Amino acid sequence: MIAGEKAPDFTLYDHTGRPRKLSAFLSEGPVVLFFFPLASSPICTAQACHFRDLSSEFAAVGAQRVGISTDTVDKQAHFAQQRAFDYPLLSDADGVVSELFGVRRGRLARLRRSFVARDAARRRRHTRRRGLLARLLPVRRATFVIDTDRTILKVVSSELRASVHADQALRFLQNHKPHRSPHVHEAMDEPTDEWFTDPETADEPSLVRPYTLTGGRTDSDVELPLDAPVEALDTTAKPPRWRRNDVRGQILTCCVHSPSVAEIAARLSLPLGATRFLVGDLVTQGYLRVHAPPADSMAIDERRELIRRTLSGLRAL
């Protein structure tokens, strides 16, 4: 994979046997994901220890370090305990994640036009000198700096220079200035002047996409079945302070007639995941109320109408 591509989300067990998900790491900040071929080998030890020794520097830029190799959980646990690593080591024992990132060696790996592959091609004569051992190592040594939206910001590739992985990743993060538009705020932050209704622009289409408002998240703390009716509450005591074209205001208007979650997504042409998250936040803030899905005691005509509305909403997505 190369800079600018989206990193695939994945779940692997760490050296403690705990399942860890990339998106969960990214919810706390950028991730520096470094692949190493073989736990406890000399170069891999130097690479991993250098990441350990730069703990405070990576913390200063808000980045998390995560190591990954095709070693088993037990081998990763021994490696982590032996070297007192303060970050997780993931076990990609079947090599699936390594292959997704384009760093897996062997006849089963896909040939990818990635930074690592091109770098290896440029240095073909050096690869020959390394001999059979280097070619038999299960993965290539590579480091990926991944932003919170899973965009790969930088790739570092070097088989023999162990320290450059942490050094270059850290230097990049120290110099990287994430672009943050002044018109975009985190999901459901306290309203600012940007969200107040402006008569001159109130009827213009909103330029803020739903996934910007949700920060890319699609889960919700509120249980929201697709067929659950959503009712708009009286907001006189706590009027919303968004522009009328804000998607949250559109959801409130849509919920006057108590539609289901699926219907809201269909009527407003919103992704279902983003709809559930936004509705859940509006419920938490007291603007909406979610009713339990209708019980089996409903009249047959009422159930048919509910099923028809839900199916219509799902087909329209």
Candidates 155, 215, 178; CA nearest to 33 is 155
Q: What residue spans of 198-288 are helical by DSSP H? A: 210-213, 247-254, 261-267, 272-284
The radius of gyration computed from the CA coordinates of the chain, to the nearest angstrom, equals: 25
Residue 44 falls in the annotated catalytic set: yes
Q: What is the DSSP letter of 281?
A: H
- Cα separation, 141 vs 44, whole angstroms: 9
From the candidates 44, 49, 254, 255, give the one annotated as an active-site residue: 44
C-alpha 137: how far from chain center:
29
Q: How many CB atoms lie within 10 A of CB 278?
A: 25
139 backbone dihedrals φ, ψ, rounded to 5°: -135, 160
Identify the residue whose tokens are 């109408």: 305
Residue with tokens 């007639």: 257
Other C-beta atoms closer than 10 Å to the C-beta of 37 total 23
What single letter denotes the amino acid at residue 270? L
Is residue 170 within 8 A of residue 66, CB to CB? The reply is: no
Catalytic residue IDs: 44
